[in-house]
Structure 1
Amino acid sequence: MRGRRLLIVLILIIAAAVIVFFRTYDGKPGPLPSEDEITAALNEYDSEADAAVLLDRVRLAEEHVFVPFISSQGIHGMGFLKWEKRKWSVTRVDMSGRPEVRVTDQSDPSGRYVVWNNNPLEKVKEFRFYLIRDRNAGMSDRVNYYVPRVQMEELVNVTEHPYGAMPFPEEWAGIMREDDKLNKAPAVDFMDNIFSQFYFRPSMLYVGYLPVYAEDAPPRSGSSKSGDEDTEFMMIMNETDLEKPQ
């Protein structure tokens, strides 16, 4: 009798494990839905999307897809699909079309893309994307430290590419990895690594962009954005935020 009870308990444990596995295992992504199916899913997710024309379906990663679209009112928006729970789902719709960072891998900066879908009526000629770290200096535990400035630039011709998905340059990803290591360096390593003096500081890296408009561009109007766990917003910059090469 005792052996039978143990067998029943074991079967229940295995059954529970199988159920948990199938509920959490997403499996290999299946084929993308058709354009009509994606359009319907975008409009179901956000009734204000009013998506009418899909411009593209850009696969950022195996489980992430970027969908720039135009609404029936001519608004240029962005939709995002993600493979989860063994199906493709809309996880976010953005109706501003302004640049932002889409994260496909939280553990690696290389899994980041700058995405945008600019309305040609805004007459943006160029996006200048920047990875910035502000210069900083001070003293901690009687030790002086200096953090040099980082300013790295990537240019995109918006006239030629009104929408797009720019993968993070490897130079950007490399700096972000090193910055993350410095932030995580434990205090006990201080004497062994002169750079570990930065262990106590928060990261000061950020990504921003500067839109360059045509002379006859219409007045700019703002619009709100709301994100999700895979979104990182970008700061809109001015010329005064940038340093000129020496």
Structure 2
Amino acid sequence: MKRKKSIILLSAVILLGVIFWISYHYYFSEPDPFLSKGVIKKQIDEYHQQEVKEIQDIIFLGEKHVVVLFISIQYDYAQAFWEWRNNQWLSIGHNSMGSYTVWKLDKSDSESFYLIWNVRPAPNLSYIEIVGQRERQYGITQGNDYYHPEMQLMKRIDITTEQSGVEKISNAWGKVIPNFQLPTNQTNDFFVVSPSANKLTFGWVPYGTNHDILSVDDYISGNNGSGSGGGNKAFIFRLTADELN
């Protein structure tokens, strides 16, 4: 009887050890080397219906997040995203709309937010400004007075030297970005031109060599591309001169 109990106990310990090893390997193991360019192109085509003409760069954000900058055969300057999850590299979205991306690696940590861009060049395009703005507001709601001061944040990207890149978002921007929300009837995880209930807007503005804002006729950023992924990523769309404070 004692021998039988010992065998049962030993079997249970071995089983628990195997379960622990499998769980650790599945959820906590170090990432494998990233995918080859051939596999990257195949996955972008298969998962996102984008045929890759050229892979421009492969950028690691830590060990478990990767951004691939590429040009499609339609000459869209695009981005694709991978994350090491469940013991494999998973393709988790793309952006070929000529817009910019904020990737929040950890939604609860503003210091883990990254700005990603891959700008289609043009002879008349000099620089881009990323703008976050809110008009001054005051009033009464549910019997309580409120006041929100005017706010404007701005980041300039010199396209002549920084046509594409990834940059950790500064602390000031990181604290503000979670407040830029969609209207309640919006379901996609995009930052759009339409202001939310707090009248916050977030977008990018192209400028020419003479420092004038370029209209959509002056500069086309993409060929009706697409975007996917949602989750911790947000796509930043274009603002016009009329939409700036």
Same fold (TM over 0.5): yes
User: After superposition, what is the alpha-carbon deviation per residue over 1:119-173, rounded to whole angstroms, capped at 9, x for unaligned?
Assistant: 2248532211123344322224533121112211000012322211232112222
Tell me if the contact between 2:105 and 2:112 (Cα under 8 Å) persists in the aligned partners. yes
What amino acid is the match of 1:94? N
User: After superposition, what is the alpha-carbon deviation per residue over 1:6-47, rounded to whole angstroms, capped at 9, x for unaligned?
Assistant: 84995598379537724751422233233333233323323x
Structure 2: how far apart are the matches of 1:140 and 1:223?
41
Aligned match of 1:240 in 216, 224, 242?
242
Report the count of equivalent residues: 221
Structure 2: how far apart are the matches of 1:173 and 1:54?
29
Structure 1: how far apart are the matches of 2:225 and 2:44?
19
Tell me if the contact between 1:176 and 1:205 (Cα under 8 Å) persists in the aligned partners. no
Structure 2: how far apart are the matches of 1:219 and 1:208?
16
Structure 1: how far apart are the matches of 2:198 and 2:109?
16
Identity, in percent, stands at: 23
Structure 2: how far apart are the matches of 1:224 and 1:96?
5
Structure in which a larger fraction of residues adopt helix: 1
Alignment of 1:159-178 (within 5 A): 159-175=160-176
Q: Which residue of 1 aligns with 2:71?
A: 70
Q: Which residue of 1 aligns with 2:203?
A: 208
Q: Which residue of 2 aligns with 1:120?
A: 121
What amino acid is the match of 1:43? D
Could you tell me which runs of 5 or more consecutive residues in structure 1 were left unpaired when the two chains were aligned.
181-201
Answering whether residue 146 of structure 2 is matched by residue 145 of structure 1, we say yes
Alignment of 1:210-225 (within 5 A): 210-213=205-208, 217=218, 222-225=224-227
SS for the counterpart of 2:39 is helix
Tell me if the contact between 1:61 and 1:104 (Cα under 8 Å) persists in the aligned partners. no
Q: 1:11 to 1:203 in 2, by over 3 A?
A: farther
Q: Which residue of 2 aligns with 1:45?
A: 47
Tell me if the contact between 1:26 and 1:83 (Cα under 8 Å) persists in the aligned partners. no
Structure 1: how far apart are the matches of 2:83 and 2:123?
30
Structure 1 residue 79: deviation in Å? 1.1
Q: 1:13 to 1:219 in 2, by over 3 A?
A: closer
SS for the counterpart of 1:110 is helix
User: After superposition, what is the alpha-carbon deviation per residue over 1:86-118, rounded to whole angstroms, capped at 9, x for unaligned?
Assistant: 222222232223212122111112211221212
Q: 1:139 to 1:40 in 2, by over 3 A?
A: same
Structure 1: how far apart are the matches of 2:34 and 2:149?
45
Q: Which residue of 2 aligns with 1:109?
A: 110
Q: Which residue of 1 aligns with 2:86?
A: 85
SS for the counterpart of 1:62 is coil
Could you tell me which runs of 5 or more consecutive residues in structure 2 were left unpaired when the two chains were aligned.
181-196
SS for the counterpart of 1:55 is strand
Aligned-residue CA RMSD in angstroms? 3.6
TM-score of the pair, normalised by structure 2 = 0.72
Structure 1: how far apart are the matches of 2:142 and 2:15?
54
SS for the counterpart of 1:106 is coil
Structure 1 residue 80: deviation in Å? 0.9
Q: Which residue of 2 aligns with 1:25?
A: 27
Structure 2: how far apart are the matches of 1:242 and 1:52?
36
Tell me if the contact between 1:102 and 1:232 (Cα under 8 Å) persists in the aligned partners. yes
Tell me if the contact between 1:132 and 1:208 (Cα under 8 Å) persists in the aligned partners. no
Answering whether residue 100 of structure 2 is matched by residue 99 of structure 1, we say yes
Structure 1: how far apart are the matches of 2:8 and 2:137?
64
Q: Which residue of 1 aligns with 2:191?
A: none
Structure 1: how far apart are the matches of 2:84 and 2:244?
39
Structure 1: how far apart are the matches of 2:113 and 2:204?
15
Structure number with the bigger relative contact order (C-alpha 8 A, sep ≥ 6) is 2
